[in-house]
Chains A and B, each alone.
Chain A
Amino acid sequence: MSTEREDQALLSVHDLAVSYHGRHGAVAALRGVSLELRARECLGVVGESGCGKTQLLHAVMGLCSGGAQLQGSVRYRGRELLGAPPATLAALRGRRLALVFQDPLSALNPYLRIGTQLCEGARRQLGLTRRDAGRRASALLDTVQIEQPALRLRQYPHELSGGMRQRVMIAMALMCDPEVLLLDEPTTALDVTVQAQVLAVLRELRARTGMAMIFVTHDLSVLAAIADRVAVMYAGRVVELAPAAQLYAAPRHPYTAGLLHSMPRLDAPLYERLPAIPGQPPRPGDDTVGCAFAPRCPLVHARCALMPALRAANDLAVGDAWVACHVDGPPQRLREIWT
């Protein structure tokens, strides 16, 4: 991408690959992901289970387990994070980059009070006193709309409801006022009303602080409510990256079109089966040559045996769309292939 944009990027991920050594050789979780997060932007990342969404966030935070092999580069404000010394990473974590975990029940220590867990990062990273950290924690619980914050701070995770725990996780990530907030399916475990509350909290936060976010989910409708740009991942790669409105209106990749097509619709006739993309995504261990989506793609042809590169979808007036597909037809056609 152009150098001008490079300058704006808070976080840039370039050709990131993560693999693990399994019993049957290397298992690739990410196969070369390139993304960038600009200041004040909310970048949505969407994809099926196992496509590498969580791995992407963990790789950015440097949290991949010891057996992981990482390649490529992750830069925060131009500073390389891959292979950076542990102390450098520890200083950035929480303070500059914060991660909201997917499952708030397992990501909260059951033996520690909410208050203790909220405060410990801030006391370490910002050098706050116990009292100041407590006050800040209480204010943040208020921000994420948890009532009686003083009481909640004294409670243990099991005493809170799932929605409250999720909001506590968000408050925890906000304790040090990070520049980049990474959210790993923050609404997946919640019912729709709580989900709407959490999204409202995040939107309000963004409007107020201009915090940049990467929002990972498998729910396209959630992203429609919050993301500026959306990256669609499939089998460890980004297959399409476009401004949200454009992606929803005119998907460029057959997979994106399929995902949009299989969203449940209110105006669909009752008792009709939900449309689905036939077939299964490749498992992380499978060796894919060429386009990973080819076996499920209605538009597959000879060229798909070669890996398509992420290229600018340049036939559109709005230049900011990228797609990894050999097919270069008008977007209308993609709509039709799934019906």
Chain B
Amino acid sequence: MSAAATMAGSWRQFWQRFNARRSTTVALWTLALIVAATLLVPVFSPYDYSTPAWTRIFTAPTWRGGQLFGTDALGRDLLVRVMWGCRISLLVGLVASLVSVVIGVLWGATAGYLGGRSDALLMRAVDVLYSVPFIPLVIVLNVLFGRHLLLVFAGIGAVSWLDIARIVRGQTLAIRNREYIDAARALGVRAPAMIRRHVIPNLLGIVIVYATLTVPAVILFEALLSFLGLGVQAPLASLGSLVAEGASEMQANPYLLIIPALLLSLIVLCLNHLGDRLRDALDPHEH
């Protein structure tokens, strides 16, 4: 058996373990379908997300004209708007999570590994940021810089890495006392390489789980901001702002609320489930 064969083998093994349950397959396909739809529907649909159509206000979902999700208060096609909303929500979720994972892991692992005064300093900074009231901060940022999608990234990113930093630090404290850390030290490995090669790979499991749980959390967070009118700028929509619009119409036209809310829940549910399965599959002890 060649080395390359075992490499390929371990990936196949990982995939088999990850994909072992039907629920994983379902979640994966659902997400893939949603992502494909968000990419394709706005391209091929005759409607766009911003042009009002005064003759078609509040059309209930129908096959006619392909308006499967109906139209909103301005006659805009809800299908296209929801797909745009998914794009924005997923983008915010992925980018903000990635940024917060990178910062959080580096911050937490450094604090935990170095310990002592550096640890205290780094973690007090986290405490201070925790105490900043988030919604007023976003409002202030909005007032100062105007409404911009980047502000949503920045605002969410600034808060969500704090949890990761704390969790990672706690894990690192445990890892630091493992014997293989001493063994690596006995071979002359120094702090930066130690954090990069011995601490962070051991955090991978928990970080991946937490990251996949952060994506839906960030999506919900963005939805909250948009619901409050602090998120994306109209006429662009995110799932949150669509839910907000739908909520104001929920008695007369419930589909305006139900469709984006269902989609939001579906995405969050799939991501949460995949996070769990990923953790199970990545744990090398169970091979």
Contact = CB atoms under 8 A, between A and B. Distances in A.
A173 B2 CA distance: 26
B117 interface: no
A106 B188 contact: no
A63 B188 CA distance: 11
Contact of A110 (B177, B197, B285): B285
A101 B6 contact: no
Contact of B189 (A63, A101, A110, A121): A121
A19 B90 CA distance: 55
Nearest to A110: B284
A120 B197 contact: yes
A309 interface: no
A124 B182 CA distance: 16
B56 to A, nearest CB: 57
B201 interface: yes
A63 B190 contact: no
A95 B3 CA distance: 29
Interface stretch (A4-12, A76-84, A152-160): A152-160
Interface stretch (A86-94, A284-292, A330-338): A86-94
Contact of B186 (A93, A109, A151, A159): A93
A101 B183 contact: yes
**Number of chain A interface residues as a range:** 35 or more
B251 to A, nearest CB: 55
Given A112-B201, A151-B3, A154-B3, A121 B285 contact: no
Contacts of B202: 109-111
A137 interface: no
Contacts, number: 98
A150 B284 contact: no
A66 interface: yes
A106 B178 CA distance: 7
A66 B183 CA distance: 16
State the majority secondary structure of interface residues on B.
helix
B176 to A, nearest CB: 10
A175 B184 CA distance: 12
B188 A101 contact: no
A154 B186 contact: no
B177 to A, nearest CB: 8
Nearest to A151: B3
A116 B197 CA distance: 9
Given A90-B190, A95-B188, A63 B182 contact: yes
A159 B287 CA distance: 9
B197 A93 contact: no
B193 A124 contact: yes
A177 interface: no
A58 B182 CA distance: 9
B240 to A, nearest CB: 38
Contacts of B187: 93-94, 98, 120-121, 124-125, 172-173, 175-176
13 contacts: A90-B189, A93-B188, A94-B186, A98-B186, A98-B187, A109-B198, A120-B184, A121-B188, A125-B187, A151-B3, A156-B284, A158-B287, A159-B287
Given A107-B183, A155-B6, 7 more contacts: A94-B186, A98-B186, A110-B285, A117-B184, A121-B187, A151-B3, A154-B7
